[in-house]
Homo-oligomer: A and B are copies of this chain.
Amino acid sequence: MATWFTEKQTENFGITAKVNRTLHKETTDFQELEMVETEEWGNMLLLDDMVMTTEKDEFVYHEMMAHVPLFTHPSPKKVLIVGGGDGGVIREVLKHNSVEQATLAEIDGKVIEYSKKYLPSIAGTLDDVRVDVQVSDGFMHIAKSEREYDVIMVDSTEPVGPAVTLFTKGFYEGIAKALKEDGILVAQTDNPWFKADLIRQVYGDVKETFPITRVYTANIPTYPSGLWTFTMGSKIYDPLKVSDERFTAFDTKYYTKELHKACFALPKFVKDMTKEE
């Protein structure tokens, strides 16, 4: 019997992928964690039955979360990633030579443990000397930080379970406080086809907290609708005004300096979600 994993991305629609075998499955203190080997996407991490990342398409999310804010900032030195226990964002952050320290605040140590074991191409740089891995609640970590970070990235799960507090206005206000006076926030904010209300709400909350607020997109085939949004809040630097000289060359599979600006050109129905009512 062939085994297929099906994620119902809505009540009435989903994706389905052939699974060769289950590598690990356990109920952690926070969520259901499952690592499966798929035929199409390589190893795949599931949390609460939702696809978090896969070996084949992970580069899109990780590159776009990391490089857009890091090239927007002229010289990012201290970076905080909230969530992101698979290590993919860290791997991309470390490509920036200016970065002296990248702190990971992941609430679930099991995500880190099994990503290292079964997603080595993603988690392989978590032991780098510039990385400070903290198994801790990102919300609490933010609450105790002040004027500390150049860039904070919220690489969270959906706003259910442990991630609920990461989609609140109070959290964005905490991030603004934890950032330096020219700091940048970027958060993953789900997809515009099924989660329009969430995008509108986060955009409004970030806009009330940061002088510059912009939404950008990337294509992630294993995420709902294939179109993912990221919301950026910036105190000073505008991602659309980065000069060509800022970009340094390194190997990417999705991000390019042309896309850095083009990804902010939103489809009309998404653009409408960022307008005042």
Contact = CB atoms under 8 A, between A and B. Distances in A.
Copies of this chain in the oligomer: 2
A75 to B, nearest CB: 24
Contacts of A236: none
B17 A12 contact: yes
Contacts of A10: 40
Interface stretch (A28-36, A114-122, A155-163, A250-258): A250-258
Contact of A14 (B15, B256, B258): B15
A16 to B, nearest CB: 5
Interface bin, chain A: 35 or more
Contacts of A263: 262, 265
Nearest to A17: B13
A254 B225 contact: no
B269 A253 contact: yes
Given A226-B219, A267-B219, A16 B6 contact: yes
Interface in A3-19: 6, 10-18
A238 interface: no
Nearest to A10: B40
B268 A252 contact: yes
Given A13-B41, A259-B268, 10 more contacts: A12-B18, A13-B15, A13-B38, A14-B16, A225-B226, A253-B267, A256-B266, A256-B267, A261-B265, A262-B263
Interface of A: 6, 10-18, 38-41, 57, 60, 193, 217, 219-221, 225-227, 252-256, 258-259, 261-269, 271
